[in-house]
């Protein structure tokens, strides 16, 4: 059973565009929703995370939108740049459950063309 | 890379041979993890450790064993490698809380022929 469903699998945008990556979760007990960014040949790195007590969080050009009732959250990248080309993973867990309970989506490969 | 070193970075081995991957951290973090990354599957947890000699199974633990004799080292062993274990393996570390970020190493690409 896949607990976090991520879409799309791949995404191509032009420089300056606003790619949006969506994730849906099933377990209503999840209360921590991070996004990880992975460049080729590197391990994933935490990009931004949100807790369900807020509906939106911004860090620079990256924004997470969270819809608790729909059990969905999404990543928006404003003014996307070629350097944002990477694979993005959403994830979810319970804070009390420990990091070993973190469940990852299958990833979205983003390509930003110049 | 948060003081995480994985070795080797690349390995080709034959079916049926034992393989050990090493993860070394310099952050003194209590928690360490082994993930595998495969196209279409994302990141899947193999085993994790919550202290020296304290380990537990993850989602895809069959065919793998781990050991942690020192805080800084976490070993992943494939007792008898199979082609289905061809993958990229990532080690990660974290603090104790569930919302502590995972810090990943740069991975080991393992090919089983």
B50: closest chain A residue by CA: A100
User: How many beta carbons lie within 10 A of that of residue A88, not counting itself?
Assistant: 24
What are the DSSP calls for A39-81, one per residue?
-TTS--EEEEEE-TT-SEEEETTEEEEEETTTTEEEEEETT--
Q: In chain B, what residues touch A104 (CB-CB under 8 Å)?
A: 42-44
Nearest to residue B103, comparing CAs of B92, B95, B112, B111? B92
Query: What domains can be seen in chain A, in order of their start residue?
Result: 4-113 (2.60.40.10)
Query: What domains can be seen in chain B, in order of their start residue?
Result: 4-112 (2.60.40.10)
Q: Any chain B CB within 8 A of the CB of A101?
A: yes
The nearest CA of chain A is from the CA of B51 a distance in Å of 13
Nearest to A99 among B44, B100, B107 (CB): B100
Residue A82: is its pLDDT beyond 90?
yes
Identify the pLDDT of residue B40: 86
CB half-sphere exposure, A88, CA atoms < 13 A: 31
- B interface mutation test: which of A2, A44, A90, A99 has the most B CBs within 10 A? A99
> Are A100 and B90 an interchain contact pair (Cβ–Cβ within 8 Å)?
no
Asked if A68 and A50 touch (Cβ cutoff 8 Å), the reply is: no
Chain segment B19-46, per-residue pLDDT in tens: 999 999 999 999 999 999 998 889 999 9
Q: In a 3-state reduction of DSSP, which class is residue A99?
A: helix
Q: What percentage of chain A exceeds 70 in pLDDT?
A: 95
User: How many beta carbons lie within 10 A of that of residue B105, not counting itself?
Assistant: 24
């Amino acid at each position: 059973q896949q607990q976090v469903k991520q879409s799309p699998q791949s995404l191509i945008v032009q420089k300056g565009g606003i790619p949006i990556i969506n994730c849906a979760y099933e377990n209503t007990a999840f209360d921590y929703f991070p996004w990880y960014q992975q460049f080729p040949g590197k391990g994933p790195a935490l990009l931004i995370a949100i807790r369900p007590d807020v509906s939106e969080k911004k860090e620079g050009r990256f924004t997470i939108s969270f819809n608790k009732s729909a059990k969905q959250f999404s990543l928006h990248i404003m003014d996307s740049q070629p350097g944002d080309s990477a694979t993005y993973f959403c994830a979810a867990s319970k804070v009390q459950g420990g990091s070993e309970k973190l469940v990852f989506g299958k990833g979205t490969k983003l390509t930003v063309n110049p | 890379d948060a003081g995480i070193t994985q070795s080797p970075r690349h390995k080709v081995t034959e079916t049926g041979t034992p393989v050990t991957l090493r993860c070394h951290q310099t952050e003194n973090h209590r928690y360490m993890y082994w993930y595998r990354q495969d196209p279409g599957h994302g990141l899947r947890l193999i085993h994790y450790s919550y202290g020296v000699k304290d380990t537990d199974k993850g989602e895809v633990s069959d065919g793998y064993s781990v050991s942690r004799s020192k805080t800084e080292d976490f070993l992943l062993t494939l007792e008898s490698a199979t082609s289905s274990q061809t993958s990229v393996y990532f080690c990660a570390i974290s603090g104790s809380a569930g919302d502590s970020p995972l810090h990943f190493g740069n991975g080991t690409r393992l090919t089983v022929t």
